[in-house]
Structure 1
Amino acid sequence: MVAAPSTLVRCAARLPPARLVTVATTQQAGPAGPTATTERALGPDLARGFMLLFIALANSHYFLRGDTVRGGYPMDGSWLDSAVTWLIATFVDGRAFPMFGLLFGYGVAHIARRNEALGPRGVRRLLWRRALVLIVVGFLHAMLLFVGDILAAYGVLLLLGAWTVRWRGRWLLVLAAAFFALTVLPSADSLSISADPPDASMLPPDLVTMVTERIQVHPWVALGGPIGFAAPFLVGLVAGRARVLERPERYRRLLTVTAAGGIAIAVLGAQPVALMLAGVTDVPSAATLELIGPLHDGSGVLGGFGYAALITLVATRFAARPGPVVEAIRATGQRSMTCYLMQSVVWAAAFTPFLLDLSGILSVAATALLATATWLATVVAADRMRRAGRRGPFEVLVRRVAYGRRR
């Protein structure tokens, strides 16, 4: 992981191409199918489940309106709103999505390893089918619920990333470093500090405007998103080959350094933007904004790696005897796509002008409370599905298209 580059490069350099990383398997006529929930490692699922809280916090504040809005935060709130703004800008914004990008690449490496008997073309076709499902569902999600959809972006990334699953680890890390460099280049268009209020694609006044505006914005999100997700995805492929998150006892030092270093860098790198958004410091010059925005985003990528490492280390304490809370959050991570879409139903109902229209009423603090309550509701729903022995409906959809109805 990037927080400990020399260690990871040495690990990656020892990894042979994916075609040589073999697992004892018998010849099979079709794909191996999804991993049974009882066989899944706790760390990655727990990370996905918990970080969906951060996804909710990150997405919901961008709906808010106010006299002055900067970075998705109204500037005319109370001291409590300022404190919540600082917390979210420091620990959440630009930190949760890189972690999901890492876990996405990690999962792709797991699928490629599990279905190695299909051969290179068979694995690519399997991944492409998954990608097409993400693109289609993401398009519908963006049109009907939330224009900031990331599923289609992940689908586009997988369409291209399917070609990289057999690359040597060293080349994957080199390419990841190149994409990371794009993240930290000075830019006047950093999303972290955008002063634009929610537009008609986020808060459409009617159904016709909703469709006409979102159909124009969605392609930019779906095609531009993979650029930002590419570095975490590629690092996730390398980590997935080594099974870093599934073997924390073997990679404890790497995980510890990544957790401590990545989160520390993310917190420090967020401060120029976080303090400005909280109203503690004045808005700097345009030249300074072009530097602190990418600093916030770039440090957030390392923070995402740090979060994944930290949660994996925490998971080792519960792996033998997970309690009901851990099992519920794990179930949420196993149904992350369904739970992510459930969040968007709440945002659409709460903020759409022709529905509840709360975007000009709720404060930053109240919206954070709504986001937390929404996440808790998805945790309860996911745990009930677990107890009933049911997968999430959208996880079932992806598996049926990728593996066939018999799966």
Structure 2
Amino acid sequence: MAHTATPPAVEHRGPVTRRERALAPDLIRGAMLLLIALANAANFGFAGAPGVNGTPHGLERVFNLLKLTLVDARAYPVFGLMFGYGLVQLARRQQNSGSSVGAVRSILLKRHLWMVGFGLVHATLLYFGDFLGAYGLIGVLCTLLLLNRSDKFHRLIIVIWALQVLYAVGTGVLALMAALNSTGPAASITNSPNPSLAATSYGQSLVERLQEYPAHTAFVLGLIVVVWLGMWAARRQILENPAQHKTLLTRVAVLGLSITVLGGLPLGLVGAGWLHVDSSAVSSFEFLAQISGQFGGPGYVALFGLIVAKLLRRPQLGRPLTAISALGQRSLSGYLFQSVAWTILLAPYGLNLDLGNTAFTAAAAAIAIWIVSVLAANAMQHRNYRGPAETLLRRLVYNR
């Protein structure tokens, strides 16, 4: 009697192919890189955060209001949520291909540890405000502690998120009380200086970055809650099928964006010079802006999910959206390209670009570099090229 050979167990699959990608995550990453650019270019321009002129005039008032209300501390939580979403997508794809639990865990840990390495190089050579290393560390924790848990266990993140909503509301009430009790002289927003961004030589900036990076990474580790929320959403494949989750996405968009906008508005009004309160109230507004910023993650993602649900009804996506989606597929390269651009264009030891107004110079540079990255990503898409950073990471992770 003939015996049928048992096929060998699959250790792991290779990288995700273009046909396997969902539109919503890529479009979100590509579009939100513009907000990342606006925030980081301003940090370079002002050599500190939040990167605004404390005594604005004219249109600069409007710019400060929009930046502090919609951008600062509101863009990077989007990538935290999408990182958690992508983690589950990668794990599911490997598992559906027959990979063992151990093999899946191994490939994810390898990927995240290489991200830590990417982040260390990025922070050392270019920009202390790196998120790659922190996301890599968070990815290691999520892979070991959260990935293979039950649906019942993952419901805990909804409870945690509800408690954070209550905390944000309480913070808002305290900020309002601080404003009502404001009696001292009016205070303005001041940029917290970053020595590495103000350094007049590249060598000096490198030394300063090595000192600034650890504290920044420790701060970003708090995003593990946002990453976990992204994992919860990915387990339900919400962004793969946004039309089927329209009600949920609408509620999350309304709640998330309401909290993040209302939480950032008081500081935005101070930054615009339209609200005058004492330094104690300004400090309360700054804390409220940080706390409420994390809700921009689910808020923006849900909003884009609703937009994609409508776009998918069309026979064609259109060239601009296709190009932005191509950038989203190469978000790692796009993110690193931005840091190279800011170093060349805005650093004191670079071209030190100045168009007469620091805020508008940084904003113009941010928009221009984002457009260049969109065009470059679109060209790579037509040539079936992953992108330099993505290609390197995949070779290191998959040994291909």
What TM-score results when the alignment is normalised by the length of structure 2?
0.86
Map 1:308-327 onto structure 2 (within 5 A).
308-319=301-312, 320-327=315-322
State the match for 1:171 in structure 2: 153
State the match for 1:9 in structure 2: none
Q: CA separation in 1, counterparts of 2:395 and 2:225?
A: 29
Preserved contact between residue 10 and residue 100 of structure 2 (Cα < 8 Å)? no
State the match for 1:242 in structure 2: 236
Does structure 1 residue 31 correspond to structure 2 residue 31?
A: no
**CA distance 1:177–1:146, shift in 2 (3 Å):** farther
**CA distance 1:346–1:368, shift in 2 (3 Å):** same
Q: CA separation in 2, counterparts of 1:273 and 1:225?
A: 21
Map 1:56-95 onto structure 2 (within 5 A).
56-65=37-46, 71-95=50-74
Q: CA separation in 2, counterparts of 1:304 and 1:379?
A: 22
State the match for 1:343 in structure 2: 338
Equivalent position SS for 2:348: coil
State the match for 1:299 in structure 2: 292
Q: CA separation in 2, counterparts of 1:202 and 1:59?
A: 11
Equivalent position SS for 1:349: helix
**CA distance 1:176–1:260, shift in 2 (3 Å):** closer
**CA distance 1:60–1:177, shift in 2 (3 Å):** farther
State the match for 2:325 in structure 1: 330
Q: CA separation in 1, counterparts of 2:279 and 2:199?
A: 32
Map 1:2-401 onto structure 2 (within 5 A).
28-65=9-46, 71-116=50-95, 117-163=98-144, 164-174=146-156, 178=160, 181=164, 184=168, 195-227=190-222, 229-286=223-280, 288-319=281-312, 320-358=315-353, 362-401=357-396
TM-superposed deviation, 1:181: 4.1
Preserved contact between residue 80 and residue 365 of structure 1 (Cα < 8 Å)? no
- Per-residue CA distance 1:82-117 (angstroms, 9 max, x = gap): 111111111111111111111100000111111123
Equivalent position SS for 1:382: helix
Preserved contact between residue 43 and residue 49 of structure 2 (Cα < 8 Å)? no
Q: How many residues matched?
A: 371
TM-superposed deviation, 1:253: 0.6
Equivalent position SS for 1:129: helix
TM-superposed deviation, 1:70: 7.1
Q: CA separation in 1, counterparts of 2:49 and 2:33?
A: 24
Equivalent position SS for 1:356: coil
The residue type equivalent to 1:50 in the other structure is A
Q: CA separation in 2, counterparts of 1:201 and 1:360?
A: 22
TM-superposed deviation, 1:382: 0.2
Q: CA separation in 2, counterparts of 1:358 and 1:282?
A: 32
Q: CA separation in 2, counterparts of 1:236 and 1:27?
A: 33
Q: CA separation in 1, counterparts of 2:195 and 2:299?
A: 36
Preserved contact between residue 91 and residue 267 of structure 1 (Cα < 8 Å)? yes
Q: CA separation in 2, counterparts of 1:290 and 1:28?
A: 58
TM-superposed deviation, 1:270: 1.1
Q: CA separation in 1, counterparts of 2:365 and 2:305?
A: 27
**CA distance 1:170–1:297, shift in 2 (3 Å):** farther
Q: CA separation in 2, counterparts of 1:279 and 1:258?
A: 31
The residue type equivalent to 1:403 in the other structure is Y
Preserved contact between residue 200 and residue 213 of structure 1 (Cα < 8 Å)? yes
Q: CA separation in 1, counterparts of 2:392 and 2:158?
A: 30
Preserved contact between residue 50 and residue 72 of structure 2 (Cα < 8 Å)? no
Preserved contact between residue 257 and residue 299 of structure 2 (Cα < 8 Å)? yes
Q: CA separation in 1, counterparts of 2:258 and 2:348?
A: 39
Preserved contact between residue 105 and residue 233 of structure 1 (Cα < 8 Å)? yes
Q: CA separation in 1, counterparts of 2:260 and 2:22?
A: 26
Preserved contact between residue 109 and residue 241 of structure 1 (Cα < 8 Å)? yes
**CA distance 1:158–1:211, shift in 2 (3 Å):** same
Q: CA separation in 1, counterparts of 2:75 and 2:274?
A: 24
Equivalent position SS for 1:73: coil
**CA distance 1:266–1:336, shift in 2 (3 Å):** same
Specify every segment of 5 or more residues in structure 1 that has no aligned partner in the other structure, as ranges: 1-25, 188-192
Rg larger in structure: 2
Preserved contact between residue 64 and residue 362 of structure 1 (Cα < 8 Å)? no
Q: CA separation in 1, counterparts of 2:285 and 2:339?
A: 30
Aligned identity (percent) is 34
State the match for 1:6 in structure 2: none
**CA distance 1:177–1:198, shift in 2 (3 Å):** farther
Preserved contact between residue 109 and residue 143 of structure 2 (Cα < 8 Å)? yes
The residue type equivalent to 1:221 in the other structure is H
Specify every segment of 5 or more residues in structure 2 that has no aligned partner in the other structure, as ranges: 1-6, 173-187
What TM-score results when the alignment is normalised by the length of structure 1?
0.84
**CA distance 1:256–1:385, shift in 2 (3 Å):** same
TM-superposed deviation, 1:133: 1.6
**CA distance 1:224–1:209, shift in 2 (3 Å):** same
**CA distance 1:374–1:176, shift in 2 (3 Å):** farther
